[in-house]
Structure 1
Amino acid sequence: MKKENITIYDIAKEANVSPATVSRVLTGNAKVRPQTMRKIVEVIEKYNFRPNSLARSLLYKQSKMIGFILPDINHPFFSTLVQKSEAHALELGYTSFLCNTMNSSENESKYLQSLIEKQVDGIIYLGGRINDTDTDEDYAEEMKNVMKRIPVVFVNGQMAGVDAHIVRTDEESGIIKLVELLINLNHKKIGFVGGLKGISSTEVKKSAFIKTIKSKGLEVKEEWVLDGGFNIESGEEVAAQLLYLRERPTAVVCVNDLVAIGVIKVLTKFGLQVPENISVVGFDDVYLAKYYPPGITTVSQNYDLLGQTAINILVDLINEKEAEKETVVPTSLVLRDSCKIYSE
């Protein structure tokens, strides 16, 4: 017999036992007489037998595969988080399917069905429909049907009516830290830019911003709170709007680092220096934030801990163990050179 073609049935034939007995030895789920076990183990070792993934899934009722569903692999928040999560999953013996929906709910549904058909053991869900502040009833129903079959963990999101396990970063605390930093640097005219209405991460950050500004006795000016999006281009667009204001803020909090890069790019292009003329801070601490001049002060999403926590909870659910329903991962302030003391 060729080693690479060995099957459970070959092992059983040479050891003169049934395939079911070989399966019991491989799983360790039932008693096998010591002499019979020794005979089977000798044959297994003789051929260096390793059951393939399909065989393992039949034996252990697990495929040892998990799925990741995310809206945009180009966005460094998602790509970084998946990288950290996937590395930890591999350490625990799980391989991954990566499903990039390209911000399409239709694609999300296709991938959900595909992952079920591939018999993954569980799904990590990032962004997309779980970030909508108003949950679509059909999407919620679809998600509940999926969760009846396999465990799902939401990261930084939720769905009304869906009793999911959630892992999230403390985005509210992160925004509070940024605002308090700017106020301590003597800024009294502070804006908030980027993001989209109806997206939970935007609403959480914007609400925390407004609440903190008001709690410090400062004014929230509507023209300093500008929606736009989550990429560099949207940062450029909101910066252009800031340039046309009769009275500009002395500092702006951006919904993420990509928006901050776009804002700095346009402000610099039109002769405003960061942070000498205006302070700019971001959120996420993506790789570019450290290296885009002058170095962006931001909030770290704590990717390692966030990814590891999501995977650990999913694996616990796969193994039918108890797991925290909602876990909050702390954020931390990362000080760089894009903000400074404001002197009137």
Structure 2
Amino acid sequence: MKKENVTIYDIAKEANVSPATVSRVLTGNAKVRPQTTRKIVDVIEKYNFRPNSLARSLFHKQSKTIGFILPDINHPFFSTLVQSSEAHALELGYTTFLCNTRNNSENESKYLQSLVEKQVDGIIYLGGRINDTDTDQEYAEEMKTVMERIPVVFVNGQMNGVDAHIVRTDEESGIEKLVELLLNLNHKKIGFLGGKEGISSTDVKRNTFVKMMENKGISVNEDWVLGTGFSIESGEEVAGQLLNLKDRPTAVICANDFVAIGVIKVLTKFGLTVPDDVSVVGFDDIYLAQHFPPGITTVSQNYDHLGQTAINVLVNLINEKEAERETVIPTSLVLRDSCRIFSE
């Protein structure tokens, strides 16, 4: 037989089975004895009746696909992390589905169901409902139902009552590094800007900031702890609120680099210089942080390490191997030119 002319009937004849049995193996709609399945798959691979990867996946019950669910592909944190993760997944033989929920819980549910229907081997979950400090029990039950069928790895998030595998960066340590840096630069009047209350990443960063300041014997001025979101526009908004205060901080820690960019834009617009008048530091180390004047001091989330680890944990789960329940990826301080020594 010529490979390009092989039909399901040819496969059935050579494997000494009925065409219906071959069809059942191809669709996976009914049970076929393992030894019969193996024989059929061998013939399929011999004649390349389907791509070899598909033939093997039929036998091993794997689709060699992974789904990503994330809230906003436009945000550099998520897009950079997905690029790192996707590249590593491809090296391991997995292709990916990208599901951008646009910060909509209903879309999250639709994508979860869609990925189950597509029979992906596993799911990497970023942001959205896994970042809510208070877990919605309906969402938790939905997640547990999905995890009964497909392994799921949470990145930088968790859900109360859901026993998921988690890979996260050490955000607490990142904030501690920033506070230590500013204190060493003689700053005592430090604010925290950006993020939203009820979002776990914000709560972790703010709480760590307050705890660090208190441990150093420095009180936190609540007027300098402001947050309306994670965007450049939200950074502009909170910077405007700071400018209306008579007593202002000499340095601010921002929830992410987007907020830091917005803060610097507004401060500069109204005649203040960063870092001469106010020191500004960010978090995430997105691509723009390096290039937005004056160059933003920030904390790197170590995207390659984070993404590769998440994929490795998921692939281990897919292959029914042991995997760490929680893996913490270290952060690192990236020094640039947006902060300086404060002098009275």
Q: What TM-score comes out, normalization by structure 2 length?
A: 0.90
Report whether the alignment pairs 1:277 with 2:264: no
- Partner amino acid, structure 2, of 1:327: T
Q: 1:275 to 1:53 in 2, by over 3 A?
A: same
* Structure 1 counterpart SS, 2:150: coil
* Structure 2 counterpart SS, 1:133: coil
- Partner amino acid, structure 2, of 1:330: P
Do the aligned residues in 1 keep the contact of 2:193 with 2:227 (CA within 8 Å)?
yes
CA distance in 2 between partners of 1:297 and 1:5 (Å): 62
* Structure 1 counterpart SS, 2:246: coil
| Number of equivalences | 330
- Partner amino acid, structure 1, of 2:218: L
Do the aligned residues in 1 keep the contact of 2:257 with 2:282 (CA within 8 Å)?
yes
Structure 2 unmatched ranges of 5 or more: 26-33
How far has the Cα of 1:53 moved from its partner? 5.8
Structure 1 unmatched ranges of 5 or more: 24-28
How far has the Cα of 1:217 moved from its partner? 1.3
CA distance in 2 between partners of 1:327 and 1:146 (Å): 22
Report whether the alignment pairs 1:322 with 2:322: yes
User: Which residue in the other structure is 1:72 paired with?
Assistant: 72
How far has the Cα of 1:221 moved from its partner? 0.2
* Structure 2 counterpart SS, 1:124: strand
CA distance in 1 between partners of 2:311 and 2:278 (Å): 40
How far has the Cα of 1:18 moved from its partner? 4.9
* Structure 2 counterpart SS, 1:299: strand
* Structure 1 counterpart SS, 2:272: coil
Query: What value does the CA root-mean-square deviation take over the aligned residues?
Result: 2.3
Do the aligned residues in 1 keep the contact of 2:230 with 2:258 (CA within 8 Å)?
yes
Q: 1:7 to 1:119 in 2, by over 3 A?
A: farther
User: Which residue in the other structure is 1:100 paired with?
Assistant: 100
1:194-233, aligned counterparts within 5 Å?
A: 194-233=194-233
User: Which residue in the other structure is 2:343 paired with?
Assistant: 343
1:246-285, aligned counterparts within 5 Å?
A: 246-285=246-285
How far has the Cα of 1:251 moved from its partner? 0.3
* Structure 1 counterpart SS, 2:129: helix
User: Which residue in the other structure is 1:298 paired with?
Assistant: 298
* Structure 1 counterpart SS, 2:204: helix
User: Which residue in the other structure is 1:312 paired with?
Assistant: 312
* Structure 1 counterpart SS, 2:88: helix
Report whether the alignment pairs 1:122 with 2:116: no
CA distance in 1 between partners of 2:168 and 2:53 (Å): 32
- Partner amino acid, structure 2, of 1:127: G
Report whether the alignment pairs 1:51 with 2:12: no
Q: What TM-score comes out, normalization by structure 1 length?
A: 0.90
215-224 vs 169-178, which moves further: 215-224
CA distance in 2 between partners of 1:242 and 1:183 (Å): 20
- Partner amino acid, structure 2, of 1:169: T
Do the aligned residues in 1 keep the contact of 2:45 with 2:55 (CA within 8 Å)?
no
Q: 1:9 to 1:320 in 2, by over 3 A?
A: farther
* Structure 2 counterpart SS, 1:168: strand
Q: Deviations over 1:269-318 (max 9, x none)?
A: 00000001100000000000000000000000000000000000000000
User: Which residue in the other structure is 1:138 paired with?
Assistant: 138
- Partner amino acid, structure 1, of 2:145: N
Do the aligned residues in 2 keep the contact of 1:7 with 1:51 (CA within 8 Å)?
no
- Partner amino acid, structure 2, of 1:230: F
